[in-house]
Amino acid sequence: RVGKLESIYRGRRFDAGVVAELAEAARARCKPLKNIATEPTYRREMVRVYVKRAFETALARPPHGG
CB 26 within 8 A of CB 47: yes
Q: Which of 31, 32, 2 is nearest to 19 (CA)?
A: 2
Q: How many CA atoms lie within 13 A of 42 on its CB side?
A: 5
**pLDDT tens readout for residues 7-65:** 888 899 888 999 999 999 999 999 888 888 889 999 999 999 999 999 999 888 888 76
How far apart CA 62 and CA 36 sit, in angstroms, is 38
